[in-house]
Amino acid sequence: MEKKATSPAPAPKPAAAATKGKGGLNPALVIPLLFAIALCVYIFVLGAPEHFKDGDHEKGPIDGDYYGIVYKGGPIVPILMTCFLIVLTFTIERLITLNKASGSGSIDAFVRKVRSLLDKNQIEEAIKECDKQKGSVGNVIKAGLLKYKQLTTETALDKEQKLAALQKEIEEATTLELPMLQKNLTIIATLAGASTLLALLGTVIGMIKAFAALGTSGSPDSAALATGISEALINTALGIGTSAIATISYAYLNSRVDDLTYSIDEIGMSLQSNFAAHY
């Protein structure tokens, strides 16, 4: 005699939710490429002969030529340039991804619309709104609504078990979406601190050269002293600038992710409350 299943089959996950988490730029490929670009810019653009007196790097940059001045910042400069390019690239990539995840129209308006439909127990209409929204919030709530719809006809579970199953479905759908939203944010956060440390390293190297010029026997080498101080200040400026941009970028992008997560939690709670009230 065949036994009937006593637990409901899981509602199908939105296809977009399962695949978006794997999207985005691959840091293992992007970072080496950006380093190669920064190195080429440093050697062939900043270090071009026309930026130096008589085309000789040893004679120093032409007065007022900032390309040559930055080039004299030393070997830490291309690394700092790479950090800046990484922050810029992944910030743009995250902005594009989060805009897609926000879906069409206003998130707040979507939340209000779905909550209104839930209050009227219009589940099918709410599912249609999720299809129109086409974002991460819509994907998660659609998974919850499909489970909601399935549980309304389920007789093998009591009310508490149904609420637990509904909550689990929303949590699983959210787990599928969050990696896509948070991907590469760690890199930006890391560079916010690492850029400052790299700048400090460049500053120390420059100051070592400056003090070495002061310590020469006889009269100090004023040119070497100026070069060392210039190298220190160039690295400081590049590192602090990159760190500031990375910090602001991370804070803004992280707040965008938090807003989406809050919207998901808000509708998820409304969905569970509605189910508890009607069933």
Helix (H) / strand (E) element for 273: namely helix 222-278
How far, CA to CA in Å, does 112 sit from each of 105, 129, 266? 12, 11, 10
* CA dist., res. 84 & res. 182, Å (int): 20
What tens digit of pLDDT does each residue of 144-153 get? Answer: 888 888 888 8
Is 143 within 8 Å of 177 (Cβ atoms)?
no
What are the sequence ranges of the domains in the chain? Answer: 27-72, 73-278
Give me the helix-helix angle, 222-278 and 185-214, nearest 10°.
Answer: 160
CB atoms within 10 A of CB 46: 21
pTM above 0.75, yes or no: yes
**Which residues does residue 61 pair with via DSSP β-bridges, in sequence order?**
52
* Average pLDDT across the chain, whole number: 84
* CA dist., res. 22 & res. 13, Å (int): 15
Whether the predicted pLDDT of 200 surpasses 90: yes
Share of the chain above pLDDT 70, in %: 89
Tokens of 162: 């149904």
Residue 49 has a pLDDT of 93
Higher confidence at residue 214 or residue 74? 74
Whether the predicted pLDDT of 2 surpasses 50: no
What tens digit of pLDDT does each residue of 121-141 get? Answer: 888 888 888 888 888 888 888
Q: What amino acid is encoded at 55 in this protein?
A: G
Residue 47's pLDDT band (cuts 50, 70, 90): very high
Residue 219 has a pLDDT of 64
